[in-house]
Amino acid sequence: MTDSATGRDEGISEGRIETLRAVRGMNDIFPDEAEVWLSFEAIVRDWLARYGYRNMRTPLLEHTALFRRSIGAVTDIVEKEMYSFTDALNDEHLSLRPEATASTVRAAVEHSFLYGGPQRVWYTGPMFRHEKPQRGRYRQFHQVGAEALGFAGPDVDAELLVMCARLWSELGLTDIRLQLNSLGNLAERRAHRAALVRFLTDHVADLDADSRRRLETNPLRVLDSKNPAMQSMIEAAPRLLDFLGDESLRHFDAVRAMITEAGVAYDVNPRLVRGLDYYNLTVFEWVTDRLGAQGTVCGGGRYDGLFEHIGGKPTPAAGFAMGVERLIDLMRGADRLPAVRLPDVYLVHMGERADRFAIRVGEALRDARLAVLTHAGGGRFRDQMKRADASGARVAVIVGDDEADAGQVSVKDLRSGEPQTAVALVDAPGFIRRLTAQAQSTPQTGTT
Ligand code: HAM
């Protein structure tokens, strides 16, 4: 019998209904937390707009071949971390996207998006990697990414870095440092690769099984092994930076000079190779010590060869992506989370005519841009008032049948202890605004 026939897939075993849980490493985001996300996204949207980046959306599913060709077949992401499956309906090999640079470039090539010239785009959304879940590392996580498509110069690399520095400061985050490196061009990487293979072959006894295999297939990937036992050997390996020619060095120096001009501090990290194969020249990561092991909040670089790899014309490009969960975690640690937005009004209503009138009252207040939480589900007046207090609203608007008949509402300031005031519905928004404005200008001394 198959699982579905026994019901095990549906969480039913031996007639008992088990509680179903989310997939490991995939998070539910409840409203208090989602508000933080919304305000983070609002800051991010505004920041990106000020640099002229425009939003773009691509599918969550792509052909697996896209990621093999772009990120590289011999990378942790493609070898171990992709959610891949065969679509049984048409025998297509598909994967949930582990990142969105490949999709962005695929879409740009497919739709001749750069026909009229270079483009700056950004995206946000979930990405999927089957990694071992821990703080800051999830199987469904979210990125905000920016891609500058069709730009060759170091000025765009510098712009991307200066942008990130500005965002950290606008989010109130300090302690994020920039690590910078250059991966040169293809010929330089080939020369480095030959030296690296010689070095690794001499140290083959120190390599773990993965790295021995990669020595044959993709030796640069040995350098981003996280195996602690290999770190001192990796430290001693030939550095790509030492293989750079004049042109690559000029590009690197220009990026460094421009970000220095903008006041962005950085460290050159010659060991920084990134975990994806598409990079050349500038690569970078923004790192912090405040998040434990998963300290990289943003990574990116130049990927001038990727368009061709995906079947497009040679097109220079550069970009970055940041981990939203990690940044929000940092904001929480730095006590920079925005306040949760509370309703302005809790609308209490009792009586048959009052219940109908309350609908009109709620809409009239919302016309005046007030946030109104209407009591639902009936119940005694006292219980409704308790709900009003618990809601955090500044004001309760109370409607009974008498008020409904008179076209009035009673407004009660929930913090002052003052008796409620009857006002005509047309005057209610102004009255409530004055109360809430007073509340903002007088400091609160505890709740009453
Ligand atoms: P990446 O370094 O693989 O680069 O990911 C970028 C960021 O996403 C990381 O620095 C981290 O903050 C976050 N991240 C990655 N994996 C996880 C995870 N499992 N859980 C939580 N956060 C995670 C890229 O994805 C490239 N597409 C960046 C890029 C854009 N390069 C050029 N353009």
% of the chain surpassing 90 pLDDT: 85
Domain boundary among 310, 333, 356: 333
* Residue 440: band (very low, low, confident or very high) from pLDDT cuts 50, 70, 90: low
Give per-residue pLDDT as tens, 364-397.
999 999 999 999 999 999 999 999 999 999 999 9
- Print the domain residue range for 151: 31-184+244-333
- Alpha carbon nearest to ligand 1 atom 10, residue: 298
Per-residue pLDDT at 387: 97
- Do 38 and 142 lie in a common domain? yes
Ligand 1 centroid to residue 73 C-alpha, Å: 17
The CATH number that applies at residue 370 is 3.40.50.800
The residue type found at 14 is E
- Do 314 and 350 lie in a common domain? no
Per the structure block, which two tokens stand in for 343? 């309703």
* Residue 120: band (very low, low, confident or very high) from pLDDT cuts 50, 70, 90: very high
Q: Is residue 412 part of a domain?
A: yes
Ligand 1 centroid to residue 290 C-alpha, Å: 18
Secondary structure (3-state) at 310: coil
Q: Is residue 82 part of a domain?
A: yes
- Do 275 and 400 lie in a common domain? no
Ligand 1 centroid to residue 428 C-alpha, Å: 50
Give per-residue pLDDT as tens, 306-340.
999 999 999 999 999 999 999 999 999 888 888 88
- Do 327 and 373 lie in a common domain? no
Q: Is residue 210 part of a domain?
A: no
Q: How far apart are CA 114 and CA 132, in angstroms?
A: 38
| Residue 256: partners with Cβ closer than 8 Å, 6 or more residues away | 180, 266
Q: Is residue 228 part of a domain?
A: no
* Residue 417: band (very low, low, confident or very high) from pLDDT cuts 50, 70, 90: confident
- Do 355 and 285 lie in a common domain? no
- Alpha carbon nearest to ligand 1 atom 20, residue: 137
Q: Which residues line ligand 1 (CB under 6 A)?
A: 99, 101, 129, 131, 136-138, 141, 143, 145, 147, 275-276, 296-301, 303, 319-323, 325-326
Q: Which helix (H) or strand (E) holds 286?
A: strand 280-287
Per the structure block, which two tokens stand in for 78? 């493609």
Per-residue pLDDT at 441: 62
pLDDT (mean) for 425-430: 97
- Do 262 and 411 lie in a common domain? no
C-alpha to C-alpha distances, 396 to 177, 307, 372, 390, nearest whole angstrom: 48, 59, 10, 11
Atom in ligand 1 nearest the alpha carbon of residue 98: 25
Which of 317, 321, 320, 322 lies closest to 119, judged by CA? 317
Domain boundary among 270, 299, 333: 333
- Do 329 and 349 lie in a common domain? no
- Do 324 and 428 lie in a common domain? no
- Do 301 and 410 lie in a common domain? no
* Residue 442: band (very low, low, confident or very high) from pLDDT cuts 50, 70, 90: low
| Best mutation site among 97, 296, 322 for ligand 1 pocket (most ligand atoms within 8 Å of CB) | 296
Per-residue pLDDT at 9: 63
- Do 76 and 43 lie in a common domain? yes
Ligand 1 centroid to residue 296 C-alpha, Å: 8
Q: Is residue 127 part of a domain?
A: yes
pLDDT (mean) for 242-261: 98
The CATH number that applies at residue 142 is 3.30.930.10
Q: Is residue 287 part of a domain?
A: yes
Q: How far apart are CA 256 and CA 251, in angstroms?
A: 9
Average model confidence (pLDDT) across the chain: 93
The residue type found at 433 is R
Q: Is residue 317 part of a domain?
A: yes
Per-residue pLDDT at 448: 29
Per-residue pLDDT at 221: 87
* Residue 444: band (very low, low, confident or very high) from pLDDT cuts 50, 70, 90: very low
Is pLDDT of 177 > 80?
yes
Per the structure block, which two tokens stand in for 46? 């505004």
- Do 306 and 362 lie in a common domain? no
Domain boundary among 333, 363, 387: 333
Atom in ligand 1 nearest the alpha carbon of residue 285: 10
- Do 277 and 398 lie in a common domain? no
Q: How far apart are CA 96 and CA 164, in angstroms?
A: 27
Per-residue pLDDT at 233: 93
Atom in ligand 1 nearest the alpha carbon of residue 322: 7
Q: Is residue 5 part of a domain?
A: no
Give per-residue pLDDT as tens, 51-107.
999 999 999 999 999 999 999 999 999 999 999 999 999 999 999 999 999 999 999
Per-residue pLDDT at 293: 85
Instruction: Domain count for the chain, please give it.
Output: 2
